[in-house]
Amino acid sequence: MRRLKTEFFLRENVVEIARDLLGCTLVSEFDGQRTSGKIVETEAYRAPDDRACHAFGNRRTARTEPMFGPGGRAYIYLCYGIHHLFNVVTGPSGMAHAVLIRAIEPLEGIDLMARRRDFEPDFLQKKGAKKFTLTSGPGAVGKALNLKTGFSGIEFSDPKSPVWLEEKLFQLPENHIVASPRVGVDYAGECVAWPWRFSVKGNEWVSRPRP
DNA sequence: CAAACGATCGGCT
DNA sequence: GCCGATCGTTTGC
């Protein structure tokens, strides 16, 4: 599959990119072991005016520094001391924009993902198993694809990068996209209601709470 | 140096 | 639905 070009990430409209990423493939590969999934849920975060963005007010810290670099790299941070949350940095250098990948629909390396998630070996075969829990939610995506904070800042165009994104096979019809308020940003004042969470309508892998 | 706080998840009621 | 886990980052004293 073809990788998304750097120009895709360099656009200034992070909300548009968050929509465009639905249907694209997120891939990680370690020691030739490939895991991937179709992106079915995203959220846009935009400095300086978005209170929910870690770089609100364009305040720079060591953690958020990758967001200030040019688009086409990873921003990964630790949440609640446990979860490694993967973001796609967008926009030209100096614009701290990012798209959080909240859920994927698994494509390749499903067994490996299940092991990384500490699922029982037979979980995926079990009748009535809630398979969507494998990669539904940003913490689950990070764990299933082995994306850790140590990779924060890595460029997808770097041949040594263990993570990158690929183009979608088919365009997603506009009426298959749902826009809703973002999850877990109750502290963000007037930004709480901004409809910057995007998901594929009716897709089982979209995380809770359902939009 | 101390302490509060998450862009969450999973288990339990 | 509610609640506890768990720790790096950030800020305040």
Q: What is the pLDDT of residues A68-107, one digit of tens each?
A: 999 999 999 999 999 999 999 999 999 999 999 999 999 9
Nucleotides of B under 7 A from a protein CB: 6-10
Question: Is there a contact between A77 and A152 (Cβ–Cβ < 8 Å)?
Answer: yes
A51 touches strand C (CB under 7 A): no
Q: Does the pLDDT of residue A158 top 90, yes or no?
A: yes
Contact between the CB of A151 and strand C at under 7 Å: no
pTM > 0.95: yes or no: yes
If pLDDT is split at 50, 70 and 90, which confidence band does A122 have? confident
CA–C1' distance A131–C6 (Å)? 26
Asked if A146 and A35 touch (Cβ cutoff 8 Å), the reply is yes
DSSP state of A126: S
Per-residue pLDDT of A12-53, as tens digits, reads 999 999 999 999 999 999 999 999 999 999 999 999 999 999
As a whole number of angstroms, the longest Cα–Cα distance in chain A is 50
Question: Token pair for residue A66?
Answer: 């990758």
DSSP code for A18: H
**Nucleotides of strand C lying closer than 7 angstroms to a protein CB:** 5-11
**Does nucleic acid strand C have an atom less than 7 angstroms from the CB of A80?**
yes
